[in-house]
Chain A
Amino acid sequence: MAFERRKILLVPLDPVHDIGLKMIRRGLEQAGHQTMLLPPDLPPEEIVSIMGKEHPDHVMISRTLGYGVGEVLGRFVDLADAAGLRDKTALVVGGMAVRPELAAELGFDAGFGPGTSVEEVVAFVEGRPYQPDLAGAKKQKKDITAGYAYEYRHAGIGNLLEKIVTNILTWSEGKISPGILRSRLRDESWDVESFRQGKVSREFSEAYAQLCDPVPQAFHRKGEVHPKTRRQTDQEIARLEDYLTKTKSRMTVSKVQHVEGQPKVFIQYGTGCPFMDIAHIKVCEAWGADGVVHFDPSWGARTEGFIGGFLTHQEDGSVVTPENLSWIKAALEASTLWQVRAHRGLNTAETVVLAGKLGADLTKINIAYGSLAAGTDPARLTVDGIEAIRMAVKYKLPFDVVTNEELAGVPAHKAFAGMLIVTALGRRLGARPILQPLFSYSPEVMIGGQMINNYIDFNAAKIEALRSIIDAPLWPGAPIGFLTQTEDRVQSSMTTSLHAALAASLRVDAISIASSDEAYSGGPIIAASRVDTLQAVAEGFRFFGEGRITPTVHAQQWADEMVDKIEAVLKEVAQSPTFVEALYAGLLGSKEEGAYPGRGGRGTVTEK
């Protein structure tokens, strides 16, 4: 197609907002078009008069909006219309508050708001569809464990970990639990394709029911759902399908990272209602989230076996069922990483199988945390944890090893010792574990005062300490800034942003962030508050780029101390008769520190 040179009149309607127009002018001229930049603040009559004399193809007006400005712009369009110029000239308005709806309301042919690129305007002038920079905008899933060799950098700690792992594997040999049996049944006899076609295997259901508590039994034998839950109605499902179809058709994903290497950003969902979860996920994807984490209700972790059905309930956490997970998976954009947590309960191993079969990218396993701060019997979670790790290897699911026991009051070095043991176990079994230290204002630092001066040093010390021990990916969580957020959404977003910037500065691989109302929502969080923190993190990443936050000397000092303490804890664990006894003895977190060995599934581990 031959190039058609256009004539464009550029009109700043107030003196301080013509920078955008000047950038556009440069772009248009570089593309070979003729431009004419008018002086600022001309009355509409004069602009129309100039239009009558110059006959431009396009008139581009930039103006900030306030009450009354809309009327001025509307009058301008009316004058152009009444003068008979409206048909020959495309009218465009641009400015900070401009959206297509507003442009339409004011009678313009197009409206360009914040974030508009010069290229987009040039494409509009040339009458061709705008092709955003696909290389820049295209998101792809990233394996955040890629490039890590899992080599020990601290030989002493490495040796201790290997000894402990050997002990654990020796101890667990020949041990079995209902959780392991279910995970193997799910692995061997549950065909995901048949499930998707709505075929229920009676054999599987009956065999599975025999391994479950009464509530899942009632589901698999009689189709009864958990009394706290209800099935989504046909009407709700139809609406969800409609919502997904419409949303996906106009969906674009964005990036929060400003420079290569900034951490991937995960959000956590689990409103109880999968429909609401999906809506939140879509909002977060659109605003730049790289991954989403499925939060299940705590009662699910204490029940032997899963129920089924597309279920909703009015409690925190969305129930893990094959149907719920399938709907979530169907809603995700191709670029979104999906983590299904398996870390803490009686269904740990089976969760990994289910997540793997339904297409999750990541899971979460931690024997120490699950048995010390999440209510599961240490022996049970140890054997189930090993099985879960083996299943994670089979289904190629990297998993993070979370250290949430810190929130109960366990000091970081003890939580890290537990995390490193599970990491070493994963390493031995061929898995791809990810270290998940907390970036939080934990009880330990509240009492110990390590964060009196700043939130930087102690968090930086954690990363430094872990890096000096093992070459493994790092994913601070969960969420970053935990216990620093207040009910003030600006404060909450700000602290999340700064912790994200710190994470970027420390070159970690991923972070999990909260919504700005998460700590104080008192009910389901709102989608807008998710946008708050995603935007805040994007701004933090934009601000620092490749710049660095420099910790004070305390960081290194605390990192060194932490490594020494981790080594001391591991020595004790290695000397303990078994890992399970070490957990009971409080070596990885004592009752005084808020860690209580769980009772869920006690006595269910048997010898084969």
Chain B
Amino acid sequence: MKTIGIAGTAKNTGKTTTASALLREAYRRHRRIAITSIGYDGEEWDNITGLPKPRLPVQRGTIVATARKCLTVSSANIRILEDTFIRSALGSIVIGEVIDPGLVVIAGPNKSVEVGRVKKALTRYRPDLLMVDGALNRIAPMVEVDGLILATGAARIVDPQRLARETESIAHIFELPYRSPALFGDKGGVAWRRGEGWVSLPFSGTQLLTSEDGESLAKELIDFLPQEHVEGTIQMPPLVTTKAIRSLLTAVGTRLKQWPIYFRDAISLLLSDLPEETYFMLEQLKSLGLRPFVRKNVPLLMVTVNPFYPEYDPGSQTYQARFLQAGLLEGRIGRKIRIPVMDVKRKGARSLWRKTIGF
């Protein structure tokens, strides 16, 4: 079973459109599909803007993992196969099989560990493909997928140039090389060579978030590190911010030259700041002679772009639907990154499938 995640950079960037297109193509190719989501999505009306949103059309045989309350509001007839007993704001997450086709509302687990549990449970039903639909800009639980499709568009940033810059930064973050440090557990730590052996200083927390966090780690390192330059390695805790890394680098950056620096994965890096800031921080690391790696590889398979954006009309106090010129975003972003960029509504489901799933 291959697991594909569809994450969005913001609301209305086309996650559900992308998911629906993949579904259509999967049915055309007679693939057995399982679907879940990070939390709740696919509702008829956007909860915040009040604009309509598509819901997912599913055919017989599709396996879904969704909150129990969503079964009653879905028009598809779904037979419950098992209850995962994972709690959500809309009831426990159940696994079901579509008996009669229709529209489905998917509200899956919203924590990384729960996505992992649901994924494991779904494996038993032997789908060819599991799609994990994102909700809003939720991305953290996407660490559980084998490949990611990123939906972005004018709803994230209306200015195509700025959006292209941001997407380029995201793509670069996903291009960080993968390597396993094999020295520390998930919380990370610092190790340097002393003679034939290594001195290691494991971290106690799971995060490095504020400038103060960065400064206090730097102080610890200054106290422990030998004065002369030594070979070493640093594995960051699961969650870091650019702020914390910068204050760390300011204090001890020059002493970490040539050290590999491990981040958990590209997804946690995306959470560290705005993508351009994060990318800039990674470039700074490189310029200081550090070598950034990720400990877990989540490939970015495709960027889908949506020219739609909601514009607030103060007169009527409502959001109005607006669109950028067709093809504009594909061109601007496509020129900057190596991975495929596509407006699903223009290029269609077949092309999307070929370039992302392939089988």
Contacts and interface: CB of A to CB of B under 8 A. Distances in A.
Interface of A: 45-46, 48-49, 52, 65-67, 69-71, 74-75, 77-79, 81-87, 97, 99-111, 246
Interface stretch (B39-47, B158-166, B192-200, B245-253): B39-47
B276 interface: no
A77 B72 contact: no
B112 A105 contact: no
Contact of A79 (B10, B213, B271): B271
Nearest to A85: B206
Contacts of B206: 52, 83-85
Contacts of B43: 101, 105
B67 A104 contact: yes
24 contacts: A46-B209, A46-B210, A49-B207, A52-B206, A67-B319, A75-B271, A77-B140, A78-B271, A79-B140, A79-B271, A81-B111, A81-B140, A83-B209, A83-B238, A86-B112, A87-B111, A87-B113, A104-B40, A105-B39, A105-B47, A106-B138, A107-B136, A109-B88, A110-B89
B39 A104 contact: yes
Given A101-B89, A104-B40, A109-B87, 19 more contacts: A45-B210, A48-B207, A48-B209, A52-B205, A65-B48, A67-B49, A71-B10, A77-B138, A78-B137, A78-B139, A78-B140, A82-B268, A85-B206, A100-B89, A104-B90, A104-B110, A105-B39, A105-B40, A105-B107
A84 B110 contact: no
Interface of B: 10-11, 38-41, 43, 47-49, 67, 72, 87-90, 107, 110-113, 135-141, 186, 205-207, 209-210, 213, 238-239, 241, 243, 264, 267-268, 271, 310, 312, 319
A106 B136 contact: yes
B239 A48 contact: yes
Given A45-B210, A49-B207, A82-B268, A105 B238 contact: no
A107 B138 contact: yes
A382 to B, nearest CB: 53
Contact of B138 (A66, A74, A111): A74
Given A45-B209, A49-B207, A71-B10, A104 B137 contact: no
B239 A105 contact: no
A101 B206 CA distance: 30
B243 A45 contact: yes
A67 B310 contact: yes
Contact of A109 (B38, B89, B137): B89
A104 B107 contact: yes
A362 to B, nearest CB: 34
Given A65-B48, A67-B48, A67-B312, A103 B111 contact: no
A103 B89 CA distance: 7
Contacts of B213: 49
Contact of B89 (A52, A66, A87, A111): A111
A262 to B, nearest CB: 33
Contacts of A65: 48
A107 B38 contact: yes
Contacts of A49: 207, 209-210, 213
A99 B47 contact: yes
Contacts of B135: 74, 105-107
Contact of B271 (A66, A82, A101): A82
Nearest to B113: A87
Contact of B39 (A46, A69, A84, A107): A107
A103 B111 CA distance: 13
B47 A102 contact: yes
Given A71-B10, A110-B89, A82 B72 contact: no
B48 A101 contact: no
A310 B267 CA distance: 59
B315 to A, nearest CB: 16
For the residues of B in contact with A, the DSSP-based class is loop
Contacts of B87: 109
Contacts of B112: 81-82, 86
B232 to A, nearest CB: 25
B25 to A, nearest CB: 26
A99 B111 CA distance: 19
A535 B40 CA distance: 29
B169 to A, nearest CB: 16
A105 B112 CA distance: 15
A108 B111 CA distance: 9
Contacts of B89: 100-101, 103-104, 108-111
A105 B205 contact: no
Nearest to A246: B72
B242 to A, nearest CB: 10
A97 B268 contact: no
Contacts of A79: 140, 209, 239, 271
Given A100-B90, A104-B67, A104-B90, A81 B136 contact: no
Contacts of A46: 209-210
Contact of B110 (A69, A101, A107): A107
Contacts of B111: 81, 86-87, 107
B110 A70 contact: no
B170 to A, nearest CB: 15
A340 to B, nearest CB: 32
A82 B239 contact: yes
B209 A66 contact: no
Max count, chain B CB within 10 A of own CB: residue among A48, A81, A97, A109: A81
B59 to A, nearest CB: 23
B88 A104 contact: yes
A105 B310 contact: no
A269 B239 CA distance: 58
A70 B140 CA distance: 15
Contacts of A74: 135-138
A97 B88 CA distance: 19
Contacts of B39: 104-107
B207 A83 contact: yes
B12 to A, nearest CB: 9
Nearest 8 CB-CB pairings of A with B? A104-B40, A81-B140, A78-B140, A104-B89, A105-B40, A107-B110, A83-B239, A49-B209
A48 B110 CA distance: 17
Contacts of B138: 74, 77-78, 106-107
A70 B38 CA distance: 15
Nearest to B87: A109
Nearest to A51: B207
A104 B42 CA distance: 12
Contacts of A104: 39-40, 67, 88-90, 107, 110
Max count, chain A CB within 10 A of own CB: residue among B38, B135, B136: B136
B271 A70 contact: no
A69 B41 CA distance: 17
B158 to A, nearest CB: 12
A81 B109 CA distance: 12
A107 B90 CA distance: 11
Contacts of A45: 209-210, 241, 243
Contacts of A87: 111, 113
Max count, chain B CB within 10 A of own CB: residue among A65, A67, A78, A102: A78
A70 B136 contact: yes
Contacts of A84: 186, 206-207, 238-239
Nearest to A90: B87
Nearest to A102: B47
Contacts of A111: 89
Given A45-B243, A82-B267, A71 B90 contact: no
B247 to A, nearest CB: 13
Nearest to B273: A45
Contacts of B207: 48-49, 52, 83-84
Nearest to B67: A104
A105 B271 contact: no
A71 B107 contact: no
Contacts of A109: 87-89
Contact of B48 (A70, A83, A107, A246): A70
Given A48-B209, A52-B207, A101-B47, A77 B110 contact: yes
A65 B135 CA distance: 16
